[in-house]
Structure 1
């Protein structure tokens, strides 16, 4: 398996290219990547050498076999019908490395696909069908609202209440989380790409799409009683044990957009009647604690894409890359 140094040039290039993005985005959103990362540090503290967001996580490896049927939509080498090595990371959002696994917050799955020609494809997903912000400004304001009060050491409930009242785009994800208990295992969640993307085929035809990964182990939720009695940390151990018992699989399902479907607001779902096709199988063969493991030093920049897959105009998607680059740079420097 390749080492971090083998892939470092690609990560570094991605970071250098995207560090320039905040300046142009700031004119539209008045938010920079530095501001967001600094806010995360103020809210969750600085944990040296660790991610500023999605700090708590577990590494895994496996492979992806993309269906050649998907090539009607995309010319990406992902859909060759041949196995592609994958490095995965399952995580909890926020900068608290000790956040309990019972927290009513999203779960994340990030994937790095390593193609035969040395190119990479990243996918960073959540187990909620919508995101909690339609703009970088809402994302920043959410973090700021959760900053602990020096007097109590906890977020001020009134500030959080005021944030929700003034940011209606934050509500769809919050409502979903309130109605769905957390899963008993990483393997019992679907993971959504959240954003719209563009698939481009060999004829240069562009199709607006969204994707999700659906678990073959089935979607499950902890009961209210299980949620109360569950230990603080169980997700990592369960994933490791599950993979020891055999491979874990998800089906990649592509939802096909139609003219008029929203492509720039990740808080708005597409209608349920959109065409959906299965275009590949992700198999996770083993998992391990992230310290020293292969996923630990990967910057899962969602704008690292193969030919045949392109970003939409979603401002949150475009902002993630420079924010990831700032965090990644700090980790590289041991900060």
Structure 2
């Protein structure tokens, strides 16, 4: 069985490994490189203050967001509809700004930075441009939790539209309300009212983005931002597992995002959508992956300039 590194991961090594596995150029985004920058509005619900005192979620604001697809090429065909999709959004401004990263699976593919680096290194392309599948199988057998994200996507392929996809935040965030009460929440972003009518080329990133633009032009893109509330004993350190009966947890609607138009790529290129940017009232998750992602996003943004 091949040996995999232990204690070797750094934010820089993870960014470099992500690019190497996907065969991306130095200035490309390390992940979710194909996307569309958009703008919109956020309107809080009456219940938001019961969950958090963060003004990002309790006050109306403009929204800067980015929909994305995690694929090597904009015209690569996702035959089984299992490629990961992303939705990053910024609420509020200045010191009251929060930036939330979500994607189309409720779990991450690695529990720790070291495991993520080993996962990627096992999939590095060889001289023939392809990974050693025996090495991939060996790593997967030794690390079965790294298969949970792919298994979820295979069993729950997303609809043929970015605007009709449900997105999850895999981290558990400590949220403090106006009364000083703190509990863990997970973000879930749910489409409102859209129908998953297929685009002709919805199996490609190009097709997904074209469908998104047509829906935005028709003023047909809106989402409910939900907070899934924890129960006693729910795990908050492992992003490769869901909370027990997570779909049955109480969910509170924090507010509604309405996408009103597209923005230039530069508008989102200047924004790291760094998960470390959270307005007071939403704290940093305690898991290892959150900490390393905060630094990795800054590195990736710096490399793109």
Give matches, 1:41-60, under 5 Å: 41-60=19-38
Q: Partner of 2:289: helix, strand, or coil?
A: helix
- CA shift in 2, pair 1:277/1:175, >3 Å: same
CA distance in 1, matches of 2:84, 2:204: 18
- Taking the aligned partners of 2:165 and 2:187, their CA distance within structure 1 comes to 14
1:83 aligns with 2:55: no
1:291 to 243, 265, 285: 265
Change (3 A) 1:230 1:99: closer
- Residue 325 of structure 1 deviates from its aligned partner by 1.6
CA-to-aligned-CA distance 1:166-210 (integer Å, 9 cap, x gap): 111212211111112342110111110111001112332211111
The answer for unaligned runs of 5 or more in structure 1 is 1-27
Residues 192-211 of structure 1 aligned to structure 2 (within 5 Å): 192-211=168-187
Alignment partner, residue 213 of structure 2? 240
Matched, 1:260 2:233: yes
Q: Classify the secondary structure of the residue corresponding to 2:145.
A: helix
**1:249 equivalent in structure 2:** 222
Question: What is the CA distance between 1:230 and its match in structure 2?
Answer: 4.5
Alignment partner of 1:73 is 2:56: no
How much does 1:106 deviate?
Answer: 1.0
Instruction: Give the secondary-structure state (helix, strand or coil) at the position aligned to 1:298.
Output: coil
Give every structure 1 segment of 4 or more consecutive aligned residues whose post-TM-superposition deviation is greater than 6 Å.
Answer: none
Match of 2:145 in 1: 169
Q: Which runs of no fewer than 5 residues in structure 2 stay unpaired? A: 1-5
**Residues in 2 aligned to 1:314 and 1:221: alpha-carbon distance in whole angstroms:** 38
- Per the alignment, residue 317 of structure 1 pairs with 290
2:105 to 128, 143, 150: 128
Deviation at 1:291, TM superposition (A): 3.5
TM-score scaled by length of structure 2 = 0.88
Deviation at 1:221, TM superposition (A): 9.1
Secondary structure of 1:195 counterpart:
coil
Hey, what does 2:3 align to over in structure 1?
none
Change (3 A) 1:99 1:119: farther
2:120 aligned residue: 143
Q: Kindly state the Cα deviation for residue 104 of structure 1 after the two structures are TM-superposed.
A: 2.2
Q: 1:77 to 1:35 in 2, by over 3 A?
A: same
Match of 1:274 among 249, 265, 268: 249
Q: Secondary structure at the match of 2:154?
A: helix
Cα distance in structure 2, aligned partners of 1:187 and 1:32: 34
CA separation in 2, counterparts of 1:55 and 1:83?
Answer: 29
**Distance in 1 between the 2:231 and 2:274 partners?**
27
Contact 1:40 1:52 in 2 (8 A): yes
1:140 Cα offset (Å)? 1.2
CA spacing shift, 1:171–1:218, aligned 2, 3 Å: farther
Equivalent residue number for residue 62 of structure 1: 40
Distance 1:291 1:79 in 2: 25
CA contact under 8 A between 2:15 and 2:30: conserved in structure 1? yes
1:329 matched to 2:305? The reply is no
Give the CA RMSD over aligned residues. Answer: 2.4
Size of the aligned set, in residue pairs, is: 296
Alpha-carbon distance change, 93 to 231 in structure 1, aligned in 2, over 3 angstroms:
closer
> Which residue pairs with 1:113 in the alignment?
91
Q: CA 1:245–1:132 in structure 2 vs 1: closer, same or farther (change >3 Å)? A: same
Where 1:129 maps in the other structure, the secondary structure is coil
